[in-house]
Amino acid sequence: MDRLLKELFEKSPFKWLLLDWTFGANRIYSQEEIDKIKTSRSFEREFCLKFKGLEGNVFSQLAIDNCQKISYDPDQMIYGCKISVGLDPSFGSSKYGVVVTRFVNGRIEVLEAEEYDRPEFQQMLDKIWDIKQKVRDHINIVL
């Protein structure tokens, strides 16, 4: 939605009306419904037209908060655990992503998560080689 709203209105194939919650107050939303939805974490995004991209809809905020409570040291080498390296080469307008995780103690731990704006191919090869060198003697690599 944010990208759509940044397009020039005259050049966009879409036309839109920006109507926040006040337009529907006491028309399509009762005061009780408005009071209830104002307590939602998504109120600003969904009802006030503030598309900030700060929160998604795949994982609940509670699940994310619970995961952040788990402490671990991503720099600590754990011998014999499995590691996974995920790459998103950004063949479009998105950023190139690199995520390194390990499976240990029945859970997946993030060791590294980086994004790059239109990197050179060799830069990413060097990055992946550096990751391999860092973990090669300690972890079984799963491709």
pLDDT tens per residue across span 49-97: 876 655 566 777 788 888 889 888 988 888 888 888 899 887 767 789 9
How far apart, in whole angstroms, are the C-alpha atoms of residue 3 and residue 8? 10
Q: Is the pTM here over 0.75, yes or no?
A: no
How far apart, in whole angstroms, are the C-alpha atoms of residue 94 and residue 57? 19
E-assigned strand segments in 3-123: 82-88, 96-104, 107-116
Per domain, the residue ranges of the chain are 21-69, 72-142
Given this structure, which CATH class describes domain 72-142?
A: alpha beta
User: Given strand 107-116, what is the order of strands in its sheet?
Assistant: 107-116, 96-104, 82-88, 140-142
